[in-house]
Amino acid sequence: MSLDQIPEFIMTFNFFVLVVNILILIFAKKIVSSLDTSDLEWKEDDLNYEVNNKKKVKFLNFINIIIFIAYPITFYTQIEFLNNFITVLFVIMIFFIANSWFIRKIVMFYGQEIEIEGQIYWKKWYKTNMFSLLISIFMFILAILVCLQVLDLNTLFQTWWAIAGILAFIGFTAPVWAPDMVASITILHNNRVQVGNVVKIREREKLAWIRSISLTEIKLIDLVYGHPILIRPSKFRDLEIENLSMWVAWKKKDIIQLMKIKVDYSLTIEEVEKVCLWAFDEMISDIEGKIERKFFSDNIHRNIEILDFGDHAVIYNFSYKLSTPFYIPQANDLLNRYLQKHQKKNNIDFSTPYLIKS
């Protein structure tokens, strides 16, 4: 077949597709990096950022390679199906890029940069997830309709069958993704927990801070060990969560930390105060000018009060102020060392008394 026999509009369109395809292949990594939102949510030093971007680059390159393989075949044979196949792949690629662009704009418009212990993170609001979901659904349906048009399946009957198929797919898969998406938007909307909050998961006795809230997962970082904890939003909503940052958040207010101490009835409150207050004061004196000093509030507070009279021991509350809930594990560990030292020094034992005495 000679070039003169090839319709001009097909030549023009195929040339356009080829040029765009080459540009996307060359600049795939830059395109993904500029449109992806991982750099906002995780920052570039996070391994997940690189892994996530590599997957997207591979997806674009995969489509590019298929188009390059099909292009010379359709150029010489002019098989209509291959022409349509190239166009469909091109449409998928363009809609994928366009969807990423819209989502990034939404995240940047509704999101907010926050600083947590010297690191910058991106805080999402419920509108970010909601509008991202809506734009993704809209772009998906629009892409399907365009592909149907390209494949000449645009009759009313065929279109309704396609729409019915999409709705059926959404309906069958809804039990998998819908609960998490609804829970995620609800969690972000009610504002009871936010990115950067320190929470205590009572069922697991875990202290962690919330790093990100997405439509599919909530990522927490364990305060003690530093490893990530991934929880589905629908599961997270059912957990008993104590938000230790409530009313603190980003206002840098001090928080009261409580320590329960069980002591034998033979000891007086003055003796307990002597151990706890002296231990605290010695600790503050020793760490003055050191990095550990930032664990505790500049407004020194320490107090002992009787919480309850148990069957075998008096339960005291020892309260002191921390600068932020992020330092709870480090502060508790440091204070416990000084409490143990002063227990031995004053010959006082904070352990629960034996129930049976010889």
Task: Give yes or no for a contact between 255 and 197, defined as CB atoms under 8 angstroms apart.
Answer: no
Q: Do residues 271 and 130 share a domain?
A: no
In the chain, the number of structural domains is 2
CA distances from 272 to 134, 240, 261, 352 (A): 60, 33, 9, 14
Report the alpha-carbon distance of residue 219 to residue 198 in Å, rounded.
12
Beta strands in the chain (DSSP E): 112-116, 119-123, 198-201, 206-213, 218-222, 228-231, 241-243, 255-263, 302-309, 314-322
In the prediction, which pLDDT does 265 show? 86
Instruction: Give the per-residue pLDDT at 95.
Output: 86
Q: Last residue of a domain, which of 133, 154, 175?
A: 154
Radius of gyration of the CA atoms of the chain, in A:
31
> Among 154, 172, 206, which residue terminates a domain?
154
Q: Looking at residue 246, what is its pLDDT?
A: 72
* Residue 49 pLDDT: 57
* Sign of torsion over alpha carbons 96, 98, 103, 104: positive
Domain span at residue 323 reads 255-346
pLDDT for 208:
92
Residue numbers in the chain where pLDDT is lower than 70? 1-15, 36-52, 74-80, 112-126, 153-160, 162-163, 166, 169, 171, 174, 176, 247-253, 351-358
Residues in the chain: 358
Co-location of 135 and 265 in the same domain = no
Residues 6+ apart with CB under 8 A from 162: 144, 145, 148, 153
